[in-house]
A and B are shown apart, each in its own frame.
Chain A
Amino acid sequence: MEDKLVIRDMEFRSRLWVGTGKYKDFEETARAVEASGADVITVSVRRVNITDRKSENLLDYIDARKYKILPNTAGCYNVEDALRYSRLAREAGISDLVKLEVIGDERTLFPDTLGLLKATEILAGEGFIVFPYTNDDPIMARRLEDAGAAAVMPLGAPIGSGLGIRNPYNIRIIIETAVKIPVIVDAGVGTASDAAIAMELGCDAVLVNTGIAGARDPVAMASAMKHAVIGGRQAFLAGRIPKKLYATASSPFEGMI
């Protein structure tokens, strides 16, 4: 059986999703996205530059028909702003998808989960397919599922920190017992092994932006992330061996002289 990621009625080719922020230029963004093999790309909603109409647009470089465009509400610090940006994104785009962020603190960019829950409920009620960026709290993940989230996106570590999966145990609890909807680790992935760890834990997908865009060679890192996610997923499905404190020999004892 093919191991496809399905969320609601959408099928996904790739379990690596990528952000499009922080790249040197649009050309590099396009090459990194291509190398990542991702079919979901996140974008932000911002003012059109009305004074310089010659300025280029991200979607001049990335064929929106080839990808699922997932707009975020990054930069929103309260429910009202998050709703406003979500509704504008729906109007500007072609889908009801939104990566919902309600940020609680500037320094850590940790989510304000109370606001997030409220916004999730309202947007789900308006027909949005909501992907809330949340912390690694299993109970909050369940509340978000109950509020109508299509998937939950717990952080591995603060956005852009590259600290990896700081609480793999909570991520596992979210996956194994807290929710039935897909779990997508968002934020904190600093290098390929972090992405592999997230997938080995049983995550359905991983979203990476800074980990790729901030690498010395973003296009090469995009490819590394792609392979890490594939490898991590296969390892999860294959079922890892239990960890033991002492050795068990791999070579037979029998036949020794």
Chain B
Amino acid sequence: MIRRPYPGGMRFFVFMRLKVNGDTIETLNAANVRQLLCELGIEPAGVAVEVNLSIVKKSEYERVRLKEGDTVEIVNFVGGG
């Protein structure tokens, strides 16, 4: 977790670090898979999501909560033979 000062106050934002598609990202609001996709601007249709090597079904996007240090893979289809 990373704490960053809240502008003009004594409070802190608490950022969560996730590893998404190999990159470490910091997020404030992505508490679950649905929110993470939303934050990244990714349409759920046509993608598959894996959290810590387990596939998350689309119906579970809301239910599966993310926590500090989770490894997330988000894949889709690209050209291939």
Quick one: given A88-B48, A91-B48, are A57 and B81 in contact (CB under 8 Å)?
A: no
| Bound Cα distance from A43 to B5, whole angstroms | 46
8 Å CB contact of A91 from B42, B55, B79: B55
Tally A residues with Cβ within 8 Å of B. Answer: 38
A9-52 interface code vs B (CB 8 A; 1 in, 0 out): 00000000001111100100100000000000011111110110
Contact partners of B75 in chain A: CB under 8 A: 45-48, 88, 92
Contact across chains for B73 and A159 when beta carbons are under 8 A apart: no
Interface residues of A in 137-177 (CB under 8 A from B): 159-160
**B29 CB → nearest A CB, Å:** 16
B36-62 interface code vs A (CB 8 A; 1 in, 0 out): 000011100011111001010110000
Contact across chains for B40 and A53 when beta carbons are under 8 A apart: yes
Interface of B toward A, CB cutoff 8 Å: 20-23, 25, 40-42, 46-50, 53, 55, 57-58, 73-81
Interface of A toward B, CB cutoff 8 Å: 19-23, 26, 29, 42-48, 50-51, 53, 57-59, 69, 71-72, 74, 84, 87-93, 159-160, 187, 207, 209-210
A-B contact pairs, 16 of them (CB 8 A): A20-B80, A22-B81, A29-B79, A42-B81, A43-B80, A47-B21, A47-B22, A50-B20, A50-B42, A51-B23, A69-B77, A87-B55, A91-B55, A159-B81, A207-B81, A210-B81
